[in-house]
Amino acid sequence: MGCEMKDESEPAVKRQTRISTLAKANREAFKAARTRAAKTTQNIEETREIRNRFKDIHERALDSQVEQGPLVPVEAQLEVEEENWVYQTVDEEILNELGHRVVLHTSAGTRKVLFETKNLDEAIDCAARIVEFSDGCVLVETIDP
């Protein structure tokens, strides 16, 4: 008799079908690390996008500042000190220089004069910026002398 070969031989080493706790911990740690890496990549992309938008806004602000020229200080027409209202006057020379009025017509039908400017270009520039933030219609009117 001796050594007979059987088809149903058992392997010398049994394969484990269970996963060890260390292997599970490693698998979960790598999964969490991949998730964190994906979130970090997304945050970096969002930050770059926001930075580019801010850069565009900053450049537009600098361009408009150059176009606008030097700012001229304007005194307040009305000052409130505690309970007293103090009205300021405007020189007649300045009033004579004003040539255009910017008026806001709201969707409710109300009309409000926002301010007056020296020339048409300033009035149109300001009106164009106001339209971006308002739901009404902005008109530029000439001031009759």
Burial class (CB in 10 A: 0-12, 13-18, 19+), 122: middle
Annotated domain spans of the chain: 20-71, 78-142
Please spell the DSSP secondary structure of 71-122, one letter per residue: ------SEEEETTEEEE----HHHHHH--EEEEEE-TTS-EEEEEEESSHHH
pLDDT at 30: 92
Distance (Å, whole) CA 37 – CA 50: 20
pLDDT tens-digit profile, the chain (145 residues): 555 555 566 666 666 567 788 888 888 999 999 999 999 999 999 999 999 999 988 888 888 777 766 666 666 667 777 787 777 677 778 777 888 888 888 778 888 888 888 888 888 888 888 888 777 788 888 887 6
β-pairing verdict for 100-105 and 111-117:
antiparallel
Return the closest-CA partner of residue 103 out of 120, 132, 123, 118. 123
Write down the pTM of the prediction.
Answer: 0.38
pLDDT at 12: 63
Are the C-beta atoms of residues 126 and 115 closer than 8 Å to each other? yes
β-pairing verdict for 100-105 and 78-81:
unpaired
